[in-house]
Amino acid sequence: MAAWFIERGCPFVVVANKLDKVKKRELDGNLDTIRADLELPENCPVIPFSAAKGDGREALLNHILAVVL
């Protein structure tokens, strides 16, 4: 899906869910792996998110609102 958006020049955001399952010391490495595996451009945000704890909710909502308003 990321490749499809990139090929078409469409802006998008990656939501890295299950943040509550990742140890804090592993987070940056995991986000780097996601960015590398998906070959994301630097301007594509990767937002860590946990539905269970609500972490990342505000960052995701702020990003969505910034795009649509």
Rounded to whole angstroms, how far apart are CA atoms 35 and 46?
8
Q: Domains of the chain: which residue ranges?
A: 2-68
pTM of the model: 0.87
Report d(CA 11, CA 63) in Å as an integer.
12
pLDDT tens per residue, range 12-64? 999 999 999 999 999 999 999 999 999 999 999 999 999 999 999 999 999 99
Residue with structure tokens 């972490």? 55
Whole-angstrom distance, CA of residue 23 vs CA of residue 43 = 26
